[in-house]
Amino acid sequence: MRNCRLKKGYKEMSLEVALKSETEDPVLELTGKIIDVDIKKLQHKMDQLYKKKSVERIVLDVTLANFIDSHGLGIIVYYHTLMQKESRKLIILNGNPDSESYLNKLFELTNLDKVLNIVTAL
């Protein structure tokens, strides 16, 4: 019975990665928790887009994400660095204007708000 609860709870927390736009600037929308257990989903989609050298900018929409662990932050920084070396951009879209929200605080406390290209609207 305990395993059923864990699986049900896991479903509610799992990361969903959706490609919302395949135009010049593809938009990957992330919903849920960006954690180690689900990081391969994000990594797979990012790899696909990164390998398309014609893509100058990738937008990672974290507006609907409610948690990012160190693995999630590591992947974001990794692709930011890769793209920056090639004069390409990874743009983090965080549509939550509340400066006290979890993600805004996380980016501020880790100083990633000074490193990453974080925008509130496109």
**Protein fold of 14-119:** Transcription Regulator spoIIAA (3.30.750)
Q: What is the dihedral of CA 119, 111, 53, 42, to 10 degrees?
A: -90
pTM score: 0.86
DSSP string across 94-109: -----TTSHHHHHHHH
6: helix, strand or coil: helix
pLDDT one digit per residue (tens) for the chain, 122 residues: 334 444 444 445 689 999 998 677 999 999 999 999 999 999 999 999 999 989 999 999 999 999 999 999 999 999 999 999 999 999 999 998 888 999 999 999 999 999 999 999 98
**Under the phi-then-psi rule, with left for phi > 0, alpha for psi from -120 to 50, and beta for the rest, what region is 51?**
alpha
Structure tokens at 104: 């805004």
Helix H or strand E encompassing 68: strand 57-68
